[in-house]
Structure 1
Amino acid sequence: MITNDHLRISMTELAHVTGVSTSQIRYWERKGYISSKQSDKNKNHYFSFLTLFRVATIKYFLDQGFTLATAVKKERERQELGKIFRTFIADQVKAITQLGPKKGEVALGTLANDPEKEVYAIVDQDGTRLYSRPVSKDRG
């Protein structure tokens, strides 16, 4: 399986994709805001796709008028929110069922305060709606 750790881009590519100069990228790396991998000393730096998103997010906040220190802080806060969201998805999405073209159901498990009921979402062209229903022996 390919993981994010296996996908790398060069500093030049990172600068091109994000619009951040290579000198800024080097400075941010020296300050410890981002990191790269090098095969050997004095060789090219390669960055993960996670770092690409970090650089793009920091640049977004800089473009909004924040200082570099504040932009980095805000990027780290977003990163923490992303971890919380990924944990939620990994823990709570129990099943996904296609109900028709562009329509599906996402089973989210039982309610903590009422284990006799489960939560599910219907996703279709009109958006996402959450519902609860009694736990079925067939589903639970």
Structure 2
Amino acid sequence: MNERLRILYVDDEDDIRTIVEMALGLDPDIELQSLSSGAAALALLETGGFVPDIAMIDMMMPGMSGIELLEKLRNRPSPVALPIYFITASARSSDIARYADLGANGIITKPFDPMTLARRIRSLWRENNA
């Protein structure tokens, strides 16, 4: 990979964020921005200093839910459609279909294996850019 894969990760749970930061931090080809709220994610993107290749968003967050953040991200002017994946423990087929209808590219279910997370995200990104 010539350029680093830029990942935006938004989750209000400190423990989960720390695990993701540690797991993805081991991969030198990944640049991670890990934030605790949808508002912080939108503020970061407004500055233009970080342009993610893929976003992973927790579904259940206080203040701004994952669905609300998805809607705001989808309504931003962008030359490229950002692949957005929900991080959720709810992986019923009806939920997956509903998330797709809302504009999510897919889900990553909790709990996930931190040791294979980077490979999984890279695979999802490639699927969206094939």
TM-score w.r.t. length of structure 2: 0.30
TM-score w.r.t. length of structure 1: 0.28
Q: Which of the two has greater strand per residue?
A: 1
Q: Which has the higher contact order (CA 8 A, sep 6+)?
A: 2
Give the number of the structure whose alpha-carbon radius of gyration is greater.
1
